[in-house]
């Protein structure tokens, strides 16, 4: 079992580039595989989650080549995937499983998706139910969990679907299924969510229209090969944004970070707390906005996190809770019930860990109240959740003594090389077994 040994830190400095965006990496493989022609992907995240997506499409007959710093995907066309010889293992990735359920529902072969223990406990009914409305034939475990068995058929029907909860995974799943449905599929979201799927579909020549909260895609469209340069992942950058904010006398620059407005909730929240974050060198690459982020240490204050920012920072809340623990006053989060069904129950996992370190963190059904204070030393259980492990690594910067974090092997799912990169800028962390 891999664990992290973290010592109280010092100031952070330097200029770094964190790994490629995981959400975009998943989607780049999926759309390149069903496009006509060969696509080149640069900056692909070589983490376990996105590599499992890559392996799944290789198992369905797609030729994918690694060449130095790029990946070449030889697309097979919208109807060119073939039946895999075995179950498709999505490992720890809820994104991969939910998106592939939508894609596989419209194929002309049967398939089965499995995952690790954590993923096999995560609910899939929120994609299965609307897909069944499209006449998809899908079977799951009794609790709506993996393994997911899909009886592929080419008779999907378009639907209009009002999503009860804001979720980019559900939206993307239905848009992928909509490519194989008769007629026009319409998805309405109750709040904005990341729009990587819509942007990338357009990049591959697909007509996807967005008006307000409504997204439309017509079935029967073909995709054309497209080259992709994956920006650095803002979810990975978030750990360093908080780290440099809470460690005294710090200045750190994060290069080539994706700043899609549906993903920058963490920047907005930290700025409301008083963080000093400056964006520069703005540009657009492959339809995605990119910038360099420079963060300097700052005195943070507790806030009531605005509801409209919650969907735009849903993956970054573990480290935002760490920022709250170092802030003056109370930070309150509501409207984030989705955190309870991530790789771990992130509300309870973070509350338990913060309390062990002497911080008053009170969980609620859909959020948490964190009173800033002095972080102590202690042993933390990450529950195999990569973001919990990395968040408490950041917390160690302000701890009074060593922080030991257990069950950290899954950090490689989203951030290969985290320990080495964190150490290079001043976080005192050692990985051991």
Amino acid 9: pLDDT: 83
End position of a domain, from candidates 229, 261, 291: 229
Give the model confidence (pLDDT) of 231-240 as tens digits: 999 999 999 9
For residues 219 and 100, state if they share a domain: yes
For residues 158 and 207, state if they share a domain: yes
Mean predicted confidence (pLDDT) in 282-300? 95
Mean predicted confidence (pLDDT) in 314-322? 97
Amino acid 129: pLDDT: 97
For residues 207 and 178, state if they share a domain: yes
Give all strands (DSSP E) within 297-425, no chain letters: 330-333, 360-364, 367-371, 378-381, 403-406
For residues 271 and 357, state if they share a domain: yes
Asked whether the predicted pLDDT for residue 433 surpasses 90, the reply is no
For residues 118 and 197, state if they share a domain: yes
Say how far apart CA 297 and CA 16 lie, in whole Å. 17
Lowest mean pLDDT: which of 114-118, 150-154, 329-333?
Answer: 150-154
Asked whether the predicted pLDDT for residue 412 surpasses 90, the reply is no
Query: In this structure, what CATH number is given to the domain that contains residue 68?
Result: 3.65.10.10
Pairing of the two strands 13-16 and 378-381? unpaired
For residues 243 and 349, state if they share a domain: yes
Query: What pLDDT band is residue 167 in, cutting at 50, 70 and 90?
Result: very high
* Residue in 78, 72, 75 with CA at minimum distance from that of residue 106: 78
For residues 319 and 360, state if they share a domain: yes
End position of a domain, from candidates 195, 214, 229: 229
Q: Are 427 and 243 in contact (CB under 8 A)?
A: yes
Q: Within 3-150, where are the H helices?
A: 22-33, 48-59, 94-104, 125-133
Mean predicted confidence (pLDDT) in 411-432? 93
For residues 172 and 65, state if they share a domain: yes
Active site annotation includes 315: yes
Amino acid 394: pLDDT: 98
Peptide bond connecting 147 to the previous residue in cis, omega within 30 degrees of 0: yes
Give the domain range for residue 194: 22-229
For residues 315 and 415, state if they share a domain: yes
End position of a domain, from candidates 229, 258, 279: 229
For residues 131 and 196, state if they share a domain: yes
pTM (2 decimals)? 0.89
For residues 164 and 245, state if they share a domain: no
The active-site residue out of 21, 116, 233, 315 is 315
- Per DSSP, the residues of 31-66 read HHHTEEEEEEEES---SHHHHHHHHHHHHTT-EEEE
Report the domain count for the chain.
2
For residues 176 and 254, state if they share a domain: no
Mean predicted confidence (pLDDT) in 199-228? 97
Asked whether the predicted pLDDT for residue 99 surpasses 90, the reply is yes
Give the model confidence (pLDDT) of 347-403 as tens digits: 999 999 999 999 999 999 999 999 999 999 999 999 999 999 999 999 999 999 999
């Amino acid at each position: 079992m891999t664990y992290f040994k973290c010592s109280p830190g010092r100031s952070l400095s330097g200029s770094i580039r964190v790994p490629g965006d995981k959400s975009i990496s998943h989607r780049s493989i999926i759309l390149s595989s069903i496009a006509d022609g060969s696509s080149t992907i640069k900056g692909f995240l070589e983490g376990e989650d996105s590599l499992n997506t890559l392996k799944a499409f290789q198992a369905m007959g797609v030729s994918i080549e690694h060449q130095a710093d790029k990946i070449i995907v030889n697309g097979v066309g919208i109807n060119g995937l073939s039946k895999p010889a075995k179950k498709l293992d999505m490992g720890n990735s809820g994104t991969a499983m939910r998106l592939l359920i939508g894609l596989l529902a419209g194929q002309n072969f049967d398939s089965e998706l499995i995952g690790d223990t954590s993923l096999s406990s995560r609910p899939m009914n929120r994609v299965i139910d609307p897909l069944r409305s499209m006449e998809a034939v899908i079977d799951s475990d009794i609790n709506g969990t993996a393994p997911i068995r899909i009886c592929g058929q080419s008779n999907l029907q378009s639907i209009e679907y009002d999503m009860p909860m804001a979720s980019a995974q559900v939206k993307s799943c239905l848009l992928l299924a909509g490519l194989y449905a008769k007629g026009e599929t319409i998805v309405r979201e109750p709040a904005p969510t990341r729009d990587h799927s819509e942007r990338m579909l357009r990049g591959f020549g697909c007509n996807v229209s967005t008006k307000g909260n409504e997204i439309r895609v017509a079935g029967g469209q073909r995709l054309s090969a497209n080259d992709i340069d994956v920006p650095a992942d803002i979810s990975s950058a978030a750990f360093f944004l908080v780290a440099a904010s809470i460690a005294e006398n710090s200045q750190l620059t994060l290069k080539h970070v994706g700043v899609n407005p549906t993903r920058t909730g963490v920047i907005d929240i930290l700025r409301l707390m008083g963080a000093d974050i400056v964006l520069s060198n703005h540009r657009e690459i492959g339809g995605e906005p990119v910038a360099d982020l420079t963060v300097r240490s700052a005195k943070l204050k507790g806030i009531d996190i605005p509801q409209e920012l919650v969907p735009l920072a849903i993956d970054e809340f573990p480290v935002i809770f760490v920022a709250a623990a170092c802030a003056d006053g109370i930070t309150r989060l509501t409207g984030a019930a989705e955190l309870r069904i991530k790789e771990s129950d992130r509300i309870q996992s973070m509350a338990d860990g913060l309390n062990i370190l002497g911080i008053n963190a009170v969980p609620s059904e859909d959020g948490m109240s964190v009173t800033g204070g002095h972080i102590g030393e202690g042993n933390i259980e990450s529950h195999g959740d990569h973001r919990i492990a990395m968040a408490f690594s950041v917390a160690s910067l302000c701890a009074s003594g060593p922080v030991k974090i257990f069950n950290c092997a899954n950090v490689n799912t989203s951030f290969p090389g985290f320990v080495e990169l964190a150490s290079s800028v001043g976080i005192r962390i050692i990985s051991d077994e």
